[in-house]
Copies of this chain bind each other. A is one copy, B any other.
Amino acid sequence: MVHKPIKIVTIGGGSSYTPELFEGFIKRSKELPIGEIWLVDIEEGKEKLEIVGALAKRMVKAAGLDWKVHLTLDRKEALTDADFVTTQFRVGLLDARIKDERIPLSHGILGQETNGAGGIFKAYRTVPVILDIVEDMKKLCPDAWLVNFTNPSGMITEAVMRYGNWDRVVGLCNVPILCQKIASGSLKIPEEELFFKFAGLNHFHWHRVWDKTGEEKSSQILRDTYSNAESMAEAMEFVRKSAGESGNTNDSGVKNIPNISYLAEQVQNLGIIPCMYHRYYYITQDMLDEELENFAKGETRAEVVKKTEKELFELYKNPDLSIKPPQLEQRGGTFYSDAACELINAIYNDKRIHMVVSTKNNGAISDLPNDVVVEVSSIITSQGPVPISWGSFDPSPKGMLQLMKNMELITIEAAYTGDYGKALQAFTINPLIPHGKITKTLMNEMLIAHKKHLPQFKEVIEELEKIK
């Protein structure tokens, strides 16, 4: 039995998400005997760390808890003897994400910060850092669990397992939680009375839903809710209301993705429910049109988020604030941090609850090898997530899934090796990126733009700069 107080370390502690994380821990304080929480950030993030850290301390104090909250730039000190390490850092901050989105759009191409050109570059920036963290963990806290919610969450988890040789890692995302809430809203049945099975990849999964009598409701949801944008908006509204968020009139959570409708026959024939990110693949052109409009207005998602974040930090500075401000939900990513707290709780207390996480496939999806990372319904135990079996997909989702998993594998191989040819393969098979001379043009431009955060591609980029 673990008796000693838990030590939690959050890397990227200066993130605007931190208050939700603390709210999550506080909510579970009876079950989770936390001793100390370390918020770690880098020099550039120091100011934000101090603002949000101060708020976190006020939240803990207001909750009447005696947890020690440390703010530090010294990652090694923080990691020593940690029990759980959460990662929510963003290499290059939001400015890098703005490039991820705007550079492709400037060529009329979707950036897509998780699985498109933008997501590939986010992986390139993040993989070297996460592997460094893992090396530290091997030395300083070899029994700790790494709970990652830095995007692209699935690829980062895959990199940690495959190239970091670290299996005590779980990738998290809020999208499955939102999908469950939409299903509940669509069916007008409380979430806990539904049984869900999810399978796929991070931001690229499908799910099925059954009610308490064992009847499958997936087709009904596809027909009622996923076949047009208005009914989807209604389902979201129901979700918010039932969550008591009456004051908040915006779509919480799916803020990242325009609410453009799937083609009705497309999703109805599918039979299984796509996630909201599938819009990028199922209705690519319509999404691109929307994003090009935002691009023209200087309102790509990254730009909007940057503005929102600035406002949030203004709020956070208020010394009288000692709760998570409701405006945080505007940020997108709601439920993300709460999921992390729930996961930690489930592992620590061996709760065996159902969660959808990025973990090793191990046979859960028959169409993919055992040793790759998938995002899949799992039972969370004291030994980590145990996937439940999904079986095999029909040809249409299977083909897309197999393509994307291989795209992920080649991406992290390029991220790990810094090999230009591998990087070009990743762009070449990515379905959001047009192929031909433009592929190289785009990739080269992004390599140069992100130079500072791509040590593995240093020589490649220097060559490119010479040619240019």
Contacts and interface: CB of A to CB of B under 8 A. Distances in A.
Contact of A391 (B363, B398, B419): B363
A265 B424 contact: yes
Interface stretch (A42-50, A122-130, A282-290, A327-335): A282-290
Given A266-B421, A284-B434, A409 B395 contact: yes
Integer count of this chain's copies in the complex: 4
B428 A282 contact: yes
Counting chain B CB atoms within 10 Å of each CB, the highest count among A361, A394, A429 belongs to A429
A370 B382 contact: no
Interface stretch (A30-38, A242-250, A347-355): A347-355
Nearest to A400: B429
A25 B391 CA distance: 33
Contacts of A429: 396, 399-400
Contact of A403 (B286, B361, B402): B402
A354 to B, nearest CB: 7
A214 B380 CA distance: 11
A97 interface: no
Contact of A366 (B363, B404, B438): B363
Given A363-B366, A386-B197, A400-B403, A437 B283 contact: yes
Contacts of A399: 402-407, 410, 429
A395 B422 CA distance: 10
Counting chain B CB atoms within 10 Å of each CB, the highest count among A388, A389, A409, A410 belongs to A389
Interface string A151-193: 0000000000000000000000000000000000000000001
A365 B363 CA distance: 7
Given A386-B197, A395-B413, A286 B437 contact: yes
A148 interface: no
Contacts of A395: 406-407, 409-410, 413, 425
A281 B421 contact: no
The 5 closest A-B pairs by CB, nearest first: A269-B421, A399-B406, A285-B436, A214-B382, A402-B402
A386 B383 contact: no
Interface in A190-244: 193, 195, 197, 210-214, 216
Given A283-B435, A284-B436, A395-B409, A214 B266 contact: no
A392 B421 contact: no
Contacts of A391: 362-363, 370
Interface in A410-425: 410, 413, 419-422, 424-425
B268 A195 contact: no
Given A406-B398, A425-B270, A435-B282, A210 B381 contact: yes
Given A195-B382, A362-B389, A263 B439 contact: yes
A352 B354 contact: yes
A216 B383 contact: yes
A388 B390 contact: no
A253 interface: no
6 contacts: A1-B213, A214-B382, A263-B428, A265-B420, A284-B436, A285-B438
A364 interface: yes
A266 to B, nearest CB: 5
Given A263-B439, A370-B392, A395-B406, A269 B424 contact: yes
Counting chain B CB atoms within 10 Å of each CB, the highest count among A347, A399, A404 belongs to A399
A258 to B, nearest CB: 12
Given A266-B439, A362-B390, A363-B365, 11 more contacts: A1-B211, A2-B213, A214-B383, A265-B424, A269-B421, A362-B366, A363-B363, A370-B391, A399-B407, A400-B406, A431-B431
A381 B216 CA distance: 12
A409 B395 CA distance: 7
A261 to B, nearest CB: 10
A12 interface: no
A436 B288 CA distance: 10
